[in-house]
Amino acid sequence: MWRDTNDNANKVRAVAGKTQPHPPELPDALRERLQELIDGVFNDVAKRELWTNRFTDADRSRFKGEARHVLDRHNIIEIWHIARGTPTWNECIVEVAFALGFINDSHRAALRDQLGAKPAPGNRPGARQPAVPHWDDDARELCYRGKVVRVVKRPKQAHNIVSILRAFEAAGWPPRIDDPHGRKPNDETRRRDVSNLNAGLDTTLIKFACDGNGTGFLWRQVAPVKTTKARKRQR
């Protein structure tokens, strides 16, 4: 296992085929935290989880060959870099740890800030962006516009639902994602997943749906109900 998180950035640059300046020395506390994260994710179990349950079909399509050959040929950081284009080794560590639920969104943003990285989607202070949901893997809560709209109390039993929410979160909540389970278009379990997800959801704010092509999932904001105010009676 690689220990020096600065030197390891060279490996990602080699994968990218780009010449970049060597990163500055990191503070000891930040270096130690990154090492803790790499120790947690740098294993075959985490790599298979990332590939199978956190990546979308679009992510996996960036690799050539069978999955087992890809997983044998690349380490987990290289896989993330190729799939998502995250430019440096240290940023990849943070993004992999976030995708796998080792850190929450606020911790991710703090680490990226310390690394001098650009804010991740949805984390740009002051940027005027459309409000999107946020899945907190630690708390098992889905939040939208400051409100908890879904709680998954038994994540092991609700594995499919959690995988869908994790995939949306990892992708930055685009309107549509590929089915993270890679099921066939005629697989009815996809509709069952959407039904179960919406059953425990505050559907006055958002709703989930199948994409109509049998290959992915959609989320959308629910338009607020317009109330008509009675006109004041003229005297």
Q: What is the mean pLDDT of residues 55-76?
A: 92
Residue 17 has pLDDT above 60, yes or no: no
pLDDT band at 2 (very low <50, low <70, confident <90, very high): very low
Return the closest-CA partner of residue 213 out of 195, 180, 190: 190
d(CA 19, CA 94): 22
pLDDT band at 228 (very low <50, low <70, confident <90, very high): low
Taking the chain, what is the end-to-end CA distance rounded to the nearest angstrom? 83
Residues 78 and 168 in one domain: no
Q: What is the pTM of this model?
A: 0.51
Residues 25 and 107 in one domain: yes
Residues 107 and 190 in one domain: no
Host domain of residue 208? 134-221
The rounded mean pLDDT for the chain is 80
Residue 126 falls inside a structural domain: no
d(CA 108, CA 120): 9
Q: What's the domain count of the chain? A: 2
Residues 140 and 107 in one domain: no
